[in-house]
Amino acid sequence: MDCPLHDSLLRVHYKGMLLDEPKSVFYDTQIDNDGEPLEFCSGEGLVPEGFEMCVRLMLPGEKSIVTCPPDFAYDKFPRPVNVPEGAHVRWEIELLGFEVPKDWTGLTFKEIMEEADKIKNTGNRLFKEGKFELAKAKYEKLLREYNHVHPQDDEEGKIFANSRSSLHLNVAACYQKMGEYRKSIEACNKVLDANPVHVKALYRRGMSYMLGGDFDDAKNDFEKMVTVDKSSEPDATAALVKLKQKEQEIEKKARKQFKGLFDKKPGEISEVGMESKNGGDTAGSGEAVTSRDRDGSGKSSPPSAESDHAFD
C-alpha cells in the first residue's frame, strides 16, 4: 500500500498558517515540537478532518500544501490559542512515513482478541468523546475482521460470540446517539437473532424503539427483559417509567396542538398548531440508567448518558 488509506500510525512534519494573514505561523513541528515529527493514528479524530483527509492520500516523502476552510480545519476541532474561530488555514505537510496495523494472519485466537480489544477500547474512547461516527467505524472494522476469525473450541466460541455481540450493541449505541433509531434497532436485531433472550440487546432496542416513537414495541422489549432475567426488573421498571413519561409528553403536545379544533362553530377557522409553535414545548429524549451502566466509582451515570457506559 503506497498511501495510508486505511487507519495507520502516521509521522508528519507540518507548519500551520492563517490564510488571511501572511507569515502568521501558528504551529511548526520543527520549532514548537523540538524538531520531532507529529505522530498520530488516523481514524481517531486526533487531527482536524481536512488535515487527515489529505495525509491519507500522500506518499512517504511527499510534501503538500493544503488550504482548508474552517469546517474542516479548527471550527470543529480544538483550536490553537492563536487561531480565531472561522479561520481559513494553510498547512505545509510532509509525510515522513506510516505503519499499517498488525496483520491478524498467523496470530493465535488469544492474540487476535488482544488486538481486537485495543481497537475496541479506542472506539470506546471516541464514543465517550462524542465522536460517534469515528467510534462506529472502529466497531464496524472489527466486525468485518471477525468474518475471518474461526474459533477452535467451545470456549473460544463463547468468547468470540460475546465479543461480537458487544460490538453490535456498541454500533447500536452509536446509531442511537446519532438519532438513527432504525439502524440502531437493526444492529440490536443481529444480536437477538442469535440470542433472543439477550437482556442488554432487548434494553437497547427498547430504548431505540422508544426514542423513535414506537411505544408498543418498546414496551414489549422492556417487559420481556423481566421475563428472561428477573434481575433486570429494576432496569426494566425504570425504562417503563421513562416510556410512560414519553407517551404522556407526546399526548400533551398533541392536545395543545389541536386544542379548540372541535370547539369551533360551523364556518369558523381554527388556527391549529399556533400554540405549539409559540410555546416551545418539546418532548424530551432522555434514557433510563441501567444497573449495568456505571462508572468506575460505582455511581450511576446521568440518565441522558446511558449509552456512554454501555461497553463491556
Domain range list for the chain: 9-99, 109-264
The Cα diameter of the chain in Å comes to: 82
Lowest mean pLDDT among 104-108, 133-137, 187-191, 289-293: 289-293
Residue 279 confidence (pLDDT) above 80: no
Residue 293 confidence (pLDDT) above 70: no
Q: How confident is the model at residue 268 (pLDDT cuts 50, 70, 90)?
A: low
Lowest mean pLDDT among 149-153, 194-198, 246-250, 294-298: 294-298
Structure pTM? Answer: 0.74
By DSSP bridging, strand 9-18 and strand 89-99 are: antiparallel
Residues 213-247: tens digit of each pLDDT: 999 999 999 999 999 999 999 999 999 999 999 99
By DSSP bridging, strand 63-68 and strand 89-99 are: antiparallel
**More confidently predicted of 20 and 65:** 65
pLDDT for the residue 20:
80
Cβ(307)–Cβ(176) under 8 Å?
A: yes
The CATH code of the domain at 9-99 is 3.10.50.40
The amino acid at residue 294 is R
Task: Work out the mean pLDDT of the chain and round it to a whole number.
Answer: 86
Residue 191 confidence (pLDDT) above 80: yes
Exposed (0-12), middle (13-18) or buried (19+): which is 20, by Cβ within 10 Å? exposed
- Average pLDDT, integer, range 146-160: 95
By DSSP bridging, strand 25-28 and strand 9-18 are: antiparallel
Q: How far apart are CA 119 and CA 304, in angstroms?
A: 26
Q: How confident is the model at residue 120 (pLDDT cuts 50, 70, 90)?
A: very high
Residues 243-265: tens digit of each pLDDT: 999 999 988 888 887 776 655 55
pLDDT for the residue 102:
82
Residue 114 confidence (pLDDT) above 80: yes
DSSP track, 83-98: S-TT--EEEEEEEEEE
pLDDT for the residue 100:
87
The CATH code of the domain at 109-264 is 1.25.40.10
pLDDT for the residue 184:
98
pLDDT for the residue 255:
85
Tell me whether domains 9-99 and 109-264 share a fold: no
**More confidently predicted of 96 and 281:** 96
- Average pLDDT, integer, range 303-311: 45
- Average pLDDT, integer, range 151-169: 97
Number of neighbours of residue 178 by Cβ within 10 angstroms: 13
Residue 271 confidence (pLDDT) above 90: no
pLDDT for the residue 19:
87
Q: How far apart are CA 312 and CA 310, in angstroms?
A: 7
Helices (H), the chain: 29-32, 49-55, 109-128, 132-146, 154-177, 181-194, 199-211, 215-228, 233-257, 274-279
